[in-house]
Amino acid sequence: MSGITIEQLRERVRGEIITPDDDRYEEARHVYNAMIDRRPSLILRAADAGDVMAGVDYARENGLDLAVRGGNHSVPGFGTCDDGIVVDLGGMRGVRVDAAKRTARAEGGATWGDFNHATHAFGLATTGGIISTTGIGGLTLGGGIGHTARGFGLSIDNLVSADVVTADGHLLVASDTENEDLFWALRGGGGNFGVVTSFDYALHPLAQVYGGPMFFELEDAETVLRFYRDFIASAPEQLGAFPGFQVAPPLPFIPEDRHGDTFVIVVAAWAGPLDEGEKALKPIHDAAPVVAEFVGPMPYPALNSAFDGLVPPGLQHYWKASFAGELTDGAIAAHLEYGPKIPTMNSALHIYPIDGAVHRVASDATAFAYRDASFATVIAGMWPSPADNEANTAWVRDYYAALARESEMGAYVNFLSDDDQGRIRTNYGGNYDRLVSLKNKYDPGNLFHLNQNISPKG
Ligand SMILES: Cc1cc2nc3c(=O)[nH]c(=O)nc-3n(C[C@H](O)[C@H](O)[C@H](O)COP(=O)(O)OP(=O)(O)OC[C@H]3O[C@@H](n4cnc5c(N)ncnc54)[C@H](O)[C@@H]3O)c2cc1C
């Protein structure tokens, strides 16, 4: 190797360097999706932006693969690699809130749990993931769908600026006024353009939401989905509500004799005045008899961690996804066929509404192109035992194939698996060529290629 030696790297960084001979290696090399089993030659647990710059230099100078890890939730396992280096931001999780300006600056390895905890203390919030252990890093860079998307927009629509270590090892500020082209590309372009060491978000006054999950009988699934399609199209934007299918977990609010049964669900989050929440959710309640529910006023971070128990680390994951302009009769028929076959309690079929504020941003205003899609559907296969891999991946594939006829060609990049790289161009639509040209400007050597990759070659 002609580049930086490991000893030189050790001298440059304050964080931990973990190599295969280290006791911590086994634990450090694993990612959230247990189907991924890779062995990097070095894991750098960065302490600050300087460490990230050193890690990027080390990878580039030595011609090594570079995996970047934030919250570690990538289903394709982009946060690790064989033989190369992992820059792990998991130790960089600080969040500073400026309550007067209604902004928060969060380090690149923070999770949504870290973020929501910090902002909730000030009665402020923004759109983030529905599971608290997901990283703000990967989720934001792909777009960011959450309960408040209809009202506040995607996570990227609330991004004010980012500190980015680019492939040359320099740190740039990207915002509407500095490196505007990089800022455009970061908002939806995933990890293709650099390592974001901190994100600045705009916040909104929101301490409590009125919401939670409602469970309906499978025999009412068609009624509920048809109702939802009509209802959400004209529901106030303060209402986030998504339907799905769920195997009932053993929770006290679900009758014990129904644990393990499959239901059609609606998970609601009313972010308007709390005393109007019951009324806002009444139409959903009235759509069909509710078998079980856990609905009421609750802190926003509580709703955003309510389902954490269903998705512990160490599950096998295989996901597919699509965007849809409409929930067509054909799509509903596909859901009625495959939703009830959801194979495990951990798995999820969710149909997220992405209209309202998301639609008010032009398709070419950020890299996230699908601004006219109204729904982002995810078929998230998650299961404990590798022995069940075949059955679970088959459910995801068959469901996706049935829905594909009723969907757009593209899908949310953060919900794709590693066999979906062929859909990248479609996902970025008319923004793809600009992304390729910016990839050539900021990362011509494709150092950041372990992601849903935008190749500099186009
Ligand atoms: C249980 C679960 C729940 C989810 N829920 C939602 C949801 O509600 N809404 C939603 O939109 N998505 C959701 N997702 C999808 C999620 O957005 C992606 O999995 C995302 O990649 C996770 O980001 P991470 O930082 O946790 O993952 P990581 O595996 O750490 O990162 C994935 C990739 O993102 C890039 N990346 C991460 N951090 C940085 C950074 N700081 N700088 C540069 N690049 C970075 C890198 O390319 C990295 O390889 C969920 C995923 C899971 C597994």
Q: What pLDDT, on the 0 to 100 scale, is given for residue 3? A: 87
Q: pTM for the complete prediction?
A: 0.98
For CA atoms 96, 202, 77, 1, give the dihedral sign. negative
> Does ligand 1 have an atom closer than 6 angstroms to the CB of 188?
no
Q: What pLDDT, on the 0 to 100 scale, is given for residue 1? A: 44
> Which residue's CA is minimally distant from atom 39 of ligand 1?
137
User: Which of 29, 66, 69, 316 is the pocket-test mutation for ligand 1 (most atoms within 8 Å of CB)?
Assistant: 69
At residue 108, the 3 state secondary structure works out as coil
**Whole-number Cα distances in Å, 405 to 37, 322, 400:** 34, 10, 9
> Which residue's CA is minimally distant from atom 23 of ligand 1?
138
> Does ligand 1 have an atom closer than 6 angstroms to the CB of 189?
no
Radius of gyration of the chain (CA): 21
List average pLDDT for each run of 10 residues in the chain, which is 458 residues long: 87 98 97 98 98 98 98 98 98 98 98 98 98 98 98 98 98 98 98 98 98 98 98 98 98 98 98 98 98 98 97 97 97 98 98 98 98 98 97 98 95 94 93 98 98 96
Q: What's 248's DSSP letter? A: P
Sequence length of the chain is 458
Q: What pLDDT, on the 0 to 100 scale, is given for residue 421? A: 87
Residue at 85: amino acid letter = I
How far away, in angstroms, is 138 Cα from ligand 1 center? 3
At residue 308, the 3 state secondary structure works out as helix
Taking the CA of residue 194 as reference, the ligand 1 atom at the shortest distance is 43
Q: What pLDDT, on the 0 to 100 scale, is given for residue 2? A: 64
Rounded-to-integer distance, Cα 430 and Cα 452, Å: 17
Rounded-to-integer distance, Cα 96 and Cα 377, Å: 33
How far away, in angstroms, is 46 Cα from ligand 1 center? 18
DSSP of 363-406, one letter per residue? Answer: TTTSS---TT--EEEEEEEEES-GGGHHHHHHHHHHHHHHHHTT
H-type alpha helices, 107-220: 112-120, 136-142, 149-152, 180-186
Q: What pLDDT, on the 0 to 100 scale, is given for residue 119? A: 98
Q: What burial class does residue 316 get, using C-beta atoms within 10 Å of its C-beta: 0-12 exposed, 13-18 middle, 19+ buried?
A: buried
Q: How many CB atoms lie within 10 A of CB 20?
A: 12
